[in-house]
Each structure stands twice: as structure tokens, then as C-alpha cells.
Structure 1
Amino acid sequence: MPPPPPPAANKDEQPKPAGAGAGSDLPPLSAKEFRVYNRMAEHMDQFHTHFRLTYNTLLSACATPPKPKLAPRALITQALEFCHHLTMHHTIEERHIFPVLARRMPEFRRELSLLSQHKEIHRGMAALERYLEACRSGETDLDRREVGRLLEGFGGVLFEHLDEEVHALRAENMRVYWSEREMAGLPM
């Protein structure tokens, strides 16, 4: 039997959809409906969990003393791969997922926070990538404190973004904008 939907923060209060006043009048979702409507949130959260873990591993490798102790080349490679994978993830979202969702959901429109967060994250990642490329080429010696500082420069908005995006895709919000049948046709 599938797990029931997660409980609301306050047992007397049902969760409210992000960005929509409507929806609080809707009947509770059945377990089957919850699975259908929550599919995108669960799928996205799997990617986001990987990004959180990788970010935290990199940040820990920059602490004094580093934990885990990554060799300089391994730290550079893993951090560049993190930037590359996050860029690919955001590119797919911006080209294939957000435009479809934005037709009905204000959270995914270009002028609002989820996309502006992408820009802020990528400004920070660009600075990190420049530094790491200089280290990889031998132009600069790797300073773990500098890598940590650059990571921390965009970490706050990254974690906020990862949480807000999944929150916007949760079942209680998706059903405000999409029918159960339409959910099957949404990209992801």
C-alpha cells in the first residue's frame, strides 16, 4: 500500500497551494490522486537531493580540516561536474518544463522568483567555475577556503530555490491548475 500524503505542518490546517488563493476549498486528495499530482514534486526532489548532497560534500571538503579529504584534483573535478550537472538541470527546466507549467502557474513565469533564482545561482557558479578552471590549468593554486567562499556565495539561494521549486510542484498546488488527466501529459 502506498504511503499516505505527508501531513500538514499544523494538524488542524490543510496546506495551502503556493501562489494561489484557490484550492483550499478543494476536497482532500485520495492516495491515488495524491500520487498522480505529486509525481513531479517527487521526481524533482530526487534531483534536488543529489544537488544538496553534492554541494554539502564539496563545502565539507573545503572546511578545516576537510571532511571528506578530497585530493585537490578530485575537488576541482567534482565541483566542476556539480556546476555542469546543475546547469544542464536548469537548462532542461527552462526549455522544456517551466514554459509548459507557466501557462497556468505564476511561479514558473519568467519574471518571478524561480527563474530569477536560476540567474543568481548561475552568477555564483560562473565565478566558481572560473576559479576552478584557473586552478585546473595551473594558473592559480587551489585554496579550499576560496572554493568554500565561492560555494557559500550562492548556497543560500540554491537551497531556497531547491525547496521552493519542489514546494510549487507538490500535489496540493498542482491540482489547483491541472486536472488529473492533464498531469500525465506534463513533461518530466
Structure 2
Amino acid sequence: MSDQRDERNKKDEEQMKLTPAEFRAYNRMAEHMDYFHNHFRQSWNELYSACCDNKRPTGVSIRQFLNMGMEFLSQLGLHHSIEEQSIFPVLAKKMPEFKREVHLLKQHKEIHKGMDKLENYLMACKSGEKELRLDEMKTVMDSFGKVLWDHLDDEVRTLGAENMRKHWTIEEMKRLPM
């Protein structure tokens, strides 16, 4: 009897496998999001490596480095605004993960607290109120780095094909923003 049950479970799994075209349709948003997230990872790594090495990248002035940090914050802030205003509300209609005060949006709030600290630090350095100290900047980045990196992965995983197929049809996927 156990063998029959195992055989039925294998058949169910095979019937539920996505074709390559279905997988692409369901995974489209995850791939698109990961593209943006990779840019944020790269920018973070460039800034954070300089802080860990206690040395700005070769050929980058203090002003340019501070601007790199501000650009990172600006782009990440814009990305989150677009998600919260245009994408998450649509996804939240069928996906509890995108409702207010749930995991992904709680991560946004936590990330923004750190972003505000980093922006304040960078602005103080730009204005001359503070001298840029890469060890201090690293401490600020450490205050939200883990939640940022977890979020970048969690969001892509949530938008992945296996999760999206639980909530949306292929036709609905075609009409989703992004």
C-alpha cells in the first residue's frame, strides 16, 4: 500500500512540474527583481569593501565616494517607493507576503532606518560637519546590512515561479506590473 501511495505522489509531482515556458512566465518578476537587486548588491559591496579596507577605491575622491553612497541610497529609496506604491499593492491582493506590516514591508522599514542613518552621516561629511571615517561608515552600514541582504534574497524568492504559481494564473502573470 505504501508503494502505491509513493507512486501516486510521484505522478502528482510530475503533473505539477512546469514546462520551461511556464517557468519563465511565472519566474519573470523574480528575474526582473534580481536584476535590480544585483545592482544594489554591487553598489553596497563597493562601498562596504572600502569601509572594511579603510581605503576609498583607487582614483575616487572623497566627494565622489560620498556621492556614490548618496546615489546608492537614492536608487534604493526610489526602488522601494515604486514597489510600495505600484507593485506590492497589486501582489497583496492574492499574496499575504506583500500586505502591510508583514515580513517584506517590515524589512523595508528596518532598511529605511539604516538608510536614514547613512544618509545623515554622508550629508554631515559632505557639509564638513564631520570628517569621513570609513570605520564609522562601516558601523552605520552594519546596522542594516543583514536585513538589507536578507530582504534582497527574500523578495526574489517570494517572486519565484514556485511561489507565484500558487497564487496566479499564467494569464494573470502577464498583466502584473514589471
- For normalisation by structure 1, the TM-score amounts to 0.84
Corresponding residue SS for 2:16: coil
Q: C-alpha displacement at 1:67, in angstroms?
A: 6.1
Question: Aligned-residue CA RMSD in angstroms?
Answer: 1.6
Q: C-alpha displacement at 1:62, in angstroms?
A: 1.2
8 Å CA contact 2:26–2:160 kept in 1: the answer is yes
Give distance in 2, aligned partners of 1:83 and 1:115. Answer: 17
Match for residue 60 of structure 1 among 31, 38, 49 = 49
Match for residue 30 of structure 1 among 19, 31, 40 = 19
Identity %: 53
Asked if 1:110 is matched to 2:123, the reply is no
Match for residue 151 of structure 2 among 145, 161, 175 = 161
2:172 is aligned to: 182
In structure 2, what residue type is equivalent to 1:102?
A
> Quick check: which one's helix share is greater?
2
In structure 1, what residue type is equivalent to 2:39?
H
Q: Larger radius of gyration, structure 1 or 2?
A: 2
Gaps of 5+ in 1: 1-23
8 Å CA contact 1:62–1:145 kept in 2: the answer is yes
- For normalisation by structure 2, the TM-score amounts to 0.89
Gaps of 5+ in 2: 1-12
Corresponding residue SS for 1:62: helix
Q: C-alpha displacement at 1:73, in angstroms?
A: 1.2
Q: C-alpha displacement at 1:64, in angstroms?
A: 3.0
1:134 is aligned to: 124
1:3 is aligned to: none
1:152 is aligned to: 142
1:96-154 residue CA offsets vs partner (Å, 9 max, x unmatched): 00000001101111121100000000000101101110110111111111111111111
Give distance in 2, aligned partners of 1:61 and 1:52. Answer: 14
Q: C-alpha displacement at 1:66, in angstroms?
A: 2.4
1:75-95 residue CA offsets vs partner (Å, 9 max, x unmatched): 110001100000000000000
Give distance in 2, aligned partners of 1:154 and 1:65. Answer: 19
2:63 is aligned to: 73
Corresponding residue SS for 2:52: coil
1:9-46 residue CA offsets vs partner (Å, 9 max, x unmatched): xxxxxxxxxxxxxxx79610000000100000000000
Asked if 1:92 is matched to 2:89, the reply is no
Aligned pair count? Answer: 166
2:7 is aligned to: none
* Structure 1 ranges of 4+ moved more than 2 A: 63-71
Match for residue 39 of structure 1 among 19, 28, 31 = 28
